[in-house]
Amino acid sequence: MSRSSWKGSFIDKNVLKLNNTKKSYIKIMSRRSTIPEYLRGKEVYIHNGNSFKSLLIDDGCIGYKFGEFSFTRNFTPKPEDQRKRRRSLRRKKKNK
């Protein structure tokens, strides 16, 4: 369920204060805040719980949440031999 339209988008107080900043980089801890338009073209660092990940904000990022661009979990691909074993098991099940 989405947020009510009469409330508007959520932007944290600390992100609102960044409207007139002239820093070369901006650190953001609030992953739940919506990306406002005045950050267009700026580089921000978003906290993912462990470290800060950099993001250059362009037109496609506006309106999304900061957390959507900073993943908290690492993807680890399965080893090749496990994939082959699974494929062969699937083929055997289909043939039965």
Domain that holds residue 40: 13-95
Q: Does some domain include residue 7?
A: no
Q: Does some domain include residue 78?
A: yes
pLDDT tens per residue, range 49-67: 999 999 999 999 999 999 9
The confidence band for 16, taking pLDDT boundaries of 50, 70 and 90, is confident
Q: Does some domain include residue 46?
A: yes
* Whether the predicted pLDDT of 1 surpasses 70: no
Q: Does some domain include residue 56?
A: yes
Q: Does some domain include residue 62?
A: yes
Number of domains in the chain: 1
Phi and psi at residue 11, to the nearest 5°: -135, 125
83: part of which helix (H) or strand (E)? helix 80-95
Q: Does some domain include residue 1?
A: no
pLDDT tens per residue, range 29-49: 999 999 999 889 999 999 999
CATH number at 53 reads 3.30.860.10
